[in-house]
Amino acid sequence: MTDDELTPSEREALAALPREPAPSPHLEERVVRALRSRGVLKERERWTLELSPLRVAAALATCIALLVGGFMLGRSSSATITMPVSIPEGMPGATSYAVSLQGAGTAYLRALEDLASSSHAASGEDRRQACEVALVTLYAATRQIAAIAPKDYMAREMLRAIETSEPAAARQQAEGSAPQQVWF
């Protein structure tokens, strides 16, 4: 709405409004200072942490201990991921799908764990082929999840991340409509 669209009575009402100057930009500082001088507001407590060489060394040792502890805990835990699966009642075959997928996922993770733990024993070519098969399988599984649940944010983002980094040959192999099997 512009001034041209106002009626004469609205213009008169607007002109009759009281005009006050804007407060000083330092008004807040003066008010706070005055309230502190009267004891209404307390001075802000400032605390500092003194960094002595002993404290820095203790903090560094704690960080290293947490890092090593987390690494050791991750290495000692199994690669089996158990997640509760909630299946709607009355959905035929849903339980068998969930059990089948969980079994396949567990087998995939165990195979990757075996590959990681036997890296010193496997030849360079064998390890390279195993990694390629694992990545192609992961890509194909991600594409299927994104096709099954196209509105799932995580599936879309995983697929986008893989598609931007995956070589074209692996992408073409995983894009087939039939289940993929890689033979070497």
79-113 tens-digit pLDDT: 445 555 555 555 555 567 777 888 888 888 888 88
Q: 142-167 pLDDT, tens per residue?
A: 888 888 888 888 888 887 887 776 55
In the numeric block, which tokens belong to residue 18? 């009281």
Place of tokens 């649940």: 149
Q: Is the pLDDT of residue 178 over 70?
A: no
Q: 1-56 pLDDT, tens per residue?
A: 565 788 999 989 988 888 888 888 888 889 988 998 988 888 777 778 788 888 88
pTM: 0.38
- Name residues whose C-beta falls within 8 Å of residue 140's C-beta, 6 or more positions apart in sequence: 174, 180
Stretch (H or E) spanning 159: helix 153-165
Render the burial of 88-102: b for 16+ CB within 10 Å, e for the rest: eeeeeeeeeeeeeee
What's the confidence (pLDDT) of residue 177?
A: 47
Stretch 56-65: mean pLDDT: 88
CB-neighbour burial class of residue 144 (10 A; exposed 0-12, middle 13-18, buried 19+): middle
In the numeric block, which tokens belong to residue 21? 């100057």
What's the confidence (pLDDT) of residue 9?
A: 92
Give the domain ranges of the chain: 107-177
